[in-house]
Structure 1
Amino acid sequence: MTPTSTSSPNPNLTGTVQLTPFYAIPIALVVLAIPLIFVQPWIAGLVALFGLFLLFQTATLRLQFTDTDLDLYRGETLLRRFPYQDWLNWQIFWSNLPILFYFREVKSIHFLPILFDPKTLQACLEQRCPKP
């Protein structure tokens, strides 16, 4: 696996593009849990645990856009392949503050937190899987 890593606003989108990690959401959740301790300690604990879980996922998962598929890796291990030909729709929610990526395939629907560079994600989606 020899991915091209990019995070510039106008990336070169030919070949394989591996998205860089985006730690904003997991860190924001962990930081949000701190003042919540004084209001509701058990809710603060849940928010902090969820933030730490997302932090682990951000550090270990990788998304790669190939010419034909979106591939999900953990380290060098391919976990799942999503062929573009099976995609019906996609959307990044809240463009000013992207936090959720949705895409629908013929047989399933996926909601993913934005754990990868949102600008490169958007650019790759627009190029490789344009909306109808």
Structure 2
Amino acid sequence: MARVLLSTALLLPSPNKQVDGFYSIGLGSSFKGHQVQFIANLPNRRKSFRRGEALVVVSALGKKAKTKRETVVPEPDYRIPIVLLGFAGGLAYSNNLLPAAPVGLLGLLLLFQTTRVRFVFDDEALEVKIGEELQESGENVFVGGKNRWKYSTFVNWELWWPNFPILVYFKETQTKPEGQVHFFPVIFDGKQLYDVMVERAGTSKTSGPKL
């Protein structure tokens, strides 16, 4: 009659050895008299295991890490200041100097701002920065606080107008709970601006700029 031997493996502690920052824990088994070794991640710690204690190893394999989105900085667009300066020139040429002066000044201001102001869309927020080196822009002169707003606080945003975007508007609750409205002239590439706003802040009621 064939004999079937059933044995229960018992975990027996053996001296621990450190291997490249990890500890090698020897676990003895009564099965065929062999000793099995496991590598446990126990850096700089010595732990002893009593006879009969269970060692539970939880593996995080298969858990995906959150992918960080790349930072997007839309290219500057000089069309609005050029149009304003051209319009001011036309008014001045026709001797309408009174309206030509403010239009020309606005065109010059936007031309200057286009060379220095940048919208920076990082992984979690939109921030206004200055210059090619993307320096801090300081506090908002109108409502206070840093010129940085998390996408999660955006209530709504719009781009006027899709074919020739002039203004971008958004409302956020980070500055104040009841919501703060912001308007910016579109002195950036309208298509890039629209695409990244949809991606980071959700869809808008208006359609995007056409190519």
**In which range does the TM-score fall when normalised by the shorter chain?**
0.7 to 0.9
- C-alpha deviations, 1:74-112, integer Å up to 9, x for none? 123222211111110001011111111000111310111
Q: For 2:171, what is the secondary structure of its paired residue?
A: strand
- Which residue pairs with 2:193 in the alignment? 121
Q: For 2:73, what is the secondary structure of its paired residue?
A: strand
2:120 aligned with 1:64: yes
Q: Which has the higher strand share?
A: 1
Q: 33-42 vs 82-91, which deviates more?
A: 33-42
Offset at 1:65? 0.6
Bigger Cα Rg: 2
2:79 aligned with 1:21: no
Q: Which has the higher helix share?
A: 1
Normalising by the residue count of structure 1, what TM-score does the alignment of the two structures yield?
0.85
**Greater length-normalized contact order (CA 8 Å, ≥ 6 residues apart):** 1
Letter in 1 for 2:120: Q
The share of aligned pairs that are identical, in percent, is 39
State which of 151, 157, 161 in structure 2 corresponds to 1:84. 151
Normalising by the residue count of structure 2, what TM-score does the alignment of the two structures yield?
0.54
Structure 1 distance, partners of 2:171, 2:95, is 38
- Which residue pairs with 2:33 in the alignment? none
Structure 2 distance, partners of 1:60, 1:98, is 19
RMSD of aligned Cα (Å)? 1.3
Offset at 1:24? 0.2
The alignment of Structure 1 onto Structure 2 pairs a total of residues equal to 119
Offset at 1:39? 4.6
Offset at 1:52? 0.2
Structure 2 distance, partners of 1:66, 1:43, is 40
Structure 1 distance, partners of 2:165, 2:105, is 21
- Which residue pairs with 2:202 in the alignment? 130
Structure 1 distance, partners of 2:82, 2:115, is 12
Structure 1 residue runs of 5 or longer lacking an equivalent are 1-13
List structure 1 segments (4+ residues) > 4 angstroms apart after TM superposition: none
2:182 aligned with 1:110: yes
